[in-house]
Amino acid sequence: MTDKAYALFEERQRARGIDLNVVREKLKSLAIETPSWGFGDSGTRFKVFRNGKAARTPYEKLEDAAEVHRLTGCCPSVAIHIPWDKTDSYGKLRSHAESLGVKIGAVNPNLFQEEEYMLGSVTNANAAIRRKATDHLLECVAIAKETGSKDLSLWFPDGTNYPGQGDIRARKVWMLEALKEVYAALTPDMRVLIEYKFFEPAFYHTDLVDWGMAFQLANKLGPQAQVLVDTGHHAPCTNVEHIVAYLLDECRLGGFHFNSRKYADDDLIVGAINPYELFLIFYQILDASADADPAVRGTVDAIAYMIDQSHNIEPKIEAAIRSVLNVQTQYAKALLIDREEVRAAQSEQDVLGAEDAVRKAFEFDVSPLLESIREEMGLPLDPMRAYKEGSYAERVGRRG
């Protein structure tokens, strides 16, 4: 049944001139990082629902993430959040991850939970609080060195709620000061990925409100600083793929926090609301992967694809699997875009021809392709079903 479906798929793509060997190799090497915090209980500011089944310790979170990797074959690393994942030995945490067949990925400092950060962390008007916040960032660099992580993901909750509340220019200077210290502590193979967000928790002004400010900061810091695009951190109607293309061309796109947004920073399952946006993001990335400039191609190769979702009502592991499969699906579809066809239409200024060349790839059913690859990799053809029927789900069911 699968063979027949794949044979038909193959025939069709071959007729379009798509090299399925390239497509298959690219799909097999796609790596998506899951977030430790996506496996623990989380919620909104209204309520954290506890179903008693979510991972309770950083160690259990790694175990759940490893199960997602075992079933999907494409989640070899797990991002951690400090102090949510604070432990007495990061070396032990690293060994635990490695014994499960995964690695610790990006280290995310947390500057939003201490009382003192109410009026800002690295941009607080109080120098002692700025010092504490910067020290936490430096602590995270040290943790990254211990866990073998190469990326520090930086998101700042800093901002103000009312006009006049803060000195916006002074805060801009303080932010740069703190980040310069962090940058100086990196080893040459490490990066800082700077995340922006258009509002929340601050509602009047946010110190790093958009990609332009994150980009400018990265430029000031140096080549090991890049921008992190969290898909949920944009105003409705923002053309996220345009931002992606721009940052790629500037060699400043470091990675993603994938999630879905309907209204603001909803942190829903990836691809649940607007899968076409995800597809178009991958289209820009794949287009840049064929750029004449090797620096742009190198930037594409180093993109960290990370998920940042915190499920409120969904079972955690299934939700992570769903997100991973959705990313894989949209990536597979984008790989079917005939970029030569797009180029030809562009050079003829054929607006609808170009749009058609992109959109039609989105309309293919890629499940025979994904199943065939899973088969080749010795993975379950339907990872979600395999999870539900497997013994790990039973084990999780006994938690609590």
| DSSP secondary structure letter of residue 109 | E
Cis peptide before 201 (omega within 30 of 0): yes
Write out the H or E segment, with its range, that includes residue 230: strand 225-230
Q: Is 319 buried (19+), middle (13-18) or exposed (0-12) by CB count in 10 A?
A: buried
Binding of residue 308 to Mn ion (CB under 5 A): yes
Site for ligand LRH in 197-216 (CB under 6 A): 197
CA distances to 199, 296, 395 from 268, in Å: 17, 30, 25
C-beta closer to ligand LRH: residue 193 or 396: 193
Smallest distance from the beta carbon of 199 to ligand LRH, in angstroms?
A: 10
Binding of residue 265 to ligand LRH (CB under 6 A): yes
Smallest distance from the beta carbon of 265 to ligand LRH, in angstroms?
A: 5
Smallest distance from the beta carbon of 257 to ligand LRH, in angstroms?
A: 5
C-beta closer to Mn ion: residue 259 or 372: 259
Q: Is 22 strand, coil or helix?
A: helix
Q: Which amino acid is at 311?
A: H
CA 76 to chain centre: 13
Distance CA 308, CA 37 (A): 8
Q: Is 210 buried (19+), middle (13-18) or exposed (0-12) by CB count in 10 A?
A: middle
Smallest distance from the beta carbon of 79 to ligand LRH, in angstroms?
A: 9
Binding of residue 155 to ligand LRH (CB under 6 A): yes
Binding of residue 108 to ligand LRH (CB under 6 A): yes
Smallest distance from the beta carbon of 363 to ligand LRH, in angstroms?
A: 31
Residue span 216-255 as binding mask against Mn ion, x where in contact by CB under 5 A, dash where not? --------------x-------------------------
- Residues in touch with ligand LRH (CB under 6 A): 37, 108, 155, 195, 197, 230, 257, 265, 308
Q: Which residues bind Mn ion (CB under 5 A)?
A: 230, 257, 265, 308
